[in-house]
Amino acid sequence: MGGDIPELVVEVLSTQLKTELAFEDVWGVTAPRPRPALPANHAMDLPWDSSGLLSLVGGPVPTRRTIIAVTGAALTAPAWAALHQPAPDLFSTATEGGPVSPPLLDMIDNLVAHAQQLDDHQGGAARDFVHDQFTAVARLLRRASYNAAAGRRLAAALAQLAQTAGFMAFDAHEDGLAQRWYLTALRTAHTAADPGLAASILALMSNQAADRGNALDALQLAAAAQESAATAPPAVRSLVAARSSLAHAVAGDLTSFHRTREDTLTLLDTPPDTPLPRWASYIDRIELDAITGRGLVVLAEQLPQQRHRLLRHAERLLHARAHTSPDAPPQRSALRHGAWLSLAHHATGDLDLAVDTARLALRRLPAVSSTRSVALLRRLHDELTPAGPRSPAVRDLLNDLRHLPAPR
């Protein structure tokens, strides 16, 4: 069976049943050709009101499709729209799912926090759990009855789950899927009237653009994140400033990088004027130093004349997170920043420290799934290879790095 009509039937049924179906699920045979890839913003040109949100979360999560990352206005226009469109009221009189009670909302909030903790501890190993929770909360939004206050809590929970799913996809090197999750998270945070959460999402989108080398997108998204964070608690604004520094790093802008670092520290020391949201409870000096530290490694690559000084500063800022106890959170961050610290040590010519730090990072891998961290360790392998013939310790490490476990 060939042609476009059978594939169209699969698309229609997937949409109607609110679940992603494969060709063989419908027709009982293998598809005659691969399903076409979708851009990350596919079918997201929707109004910024409650109907637009419900249409977006009512569709299946496209985990079986190849999602292509987007750049430019396709990525940045929604960022500015989220800032300037009024947050809609979201309420429902539907009865299929029953009423959303305060105890149910509390349980959902606990599940959302648990999903974030799983990400911190295990990385992408818990992706299916997060996807399932997103689907369950989205179903409540569409089918249950709730008032406007409960609707905003549901939207905030959905935004946090989408943010976590987005970071998991990013960490798995699935950039298109990560963008789609982030854009979904941004839409739901906007509906929740939570500009601080929207700022966190925008800052992660900026970090992803920076990681992909798209400095202009990264800078635009960082600017939107900082504007969105204007009324957030100081610690959230400090986190956004730290993440924004990565955009300036990839752009090679040392002055702006230093300015955002100063903002990070000033805001972190500012007494809170409003309670810190639960999703931001992980923010502390060690984590923000680590974010800035990896930015310094990137900046050192952009500014070779100041390379040594920047790398030495990076080593100091990365050290504490890279040496996090193996039984303390956040293990995924410790793995990732340990890999960055190994690269910094090697770049300054300290092979012994590079080897020791890499071994510390490797010991975290049995418990943590992180494709990006493994990629950094593979990069370290390539950079250390010339030193192998003259160093037994480097040779032993290279052998271990050649046998890195496949991401789970």
Q: What residue ranges do the domains of the chain occupy?
A: 1-36, 45-193, 318-408
User: What percentage of the chain exceeds 90 in pLDDT?
Assistant: 81
Sign for the CA dihedral angle at 76, 297, 264, 286 comes to positive
- Number of residues assigned to the chain: 408
CA distance 235 to 400: 39
Q: What is the mean pLDDT of residues 394-400?
A: 97
| pLDDT class of 94 with cuts at 50, 70, 90 | confident
In this prediction, residue 2 carries a pLDDT of 44
Phi and psi, residue 240, nearest 5°:
-65, -40
Residue 148, exposed/middle/buried by CB under 10 A (0-12, 13-18, 19+)?
middle
CA distance 404 to 18: 38
Q: What is the mean pLDDT of residues 259-275?
A: 96
| pLDDT class of 19 with cuts at 50, 70, 90 | low
| pLDDT class of 63 with cuts at 50, 70, 90 | low
Q: What is the mean pLDDT of residues 345-365?
A: 96
In the beta sheet, which residues pair with residue 99? 145
- The least confident of 92-106, 176-190, 258-272, 330-344 is 92-106
Closest CA to 340 of 379, 367, 368: 379
For residue 406, pLDDT beyond 80: no
Residue 396 has, within 13 A of its CA and on its CB side, a CA count of: 11
- The least confident of 107-111, 254-258, 276-280, 363-367 is 363-367
Closest CA to 53 of 159, 149, 148: 159
- The least confident of 9-13, 74-78, 263-267, 374-378 is 9-13
Encoded tokens for 218? 């990264």
For residue 1, pLDDT beyond 50: no
For residue 322, pLDDT beyond 50: yes
In this prediction, residue 12 carries a pLDDT of 64
For residue 126, pLDDT beyond 60: yes
pLDDT digits (tens, 9 = 90+) for 166-221: 999 999 999 999 999 999 999 999 999 999 999 999 999 999 999 999 999 999 99
Q: What is the mean pLDDT of residues 53-65?
A: 79
Q: What is the mean pLDDT of residues 354-371?
A: 93
CA distance 226 to 236: 10
User: What percentage of the chain exceeds 70 in pLDDT?
Assistant: 89
CA distance 124 to 367: 11
pTM, entire model: 0.91
Supply the DSSP symbol for 123.
Answer: B
Q: What is the mean pLDDT of residues 11-24?
A: 66
Closest CA to 354 of 372, 329, 379, 324: 379
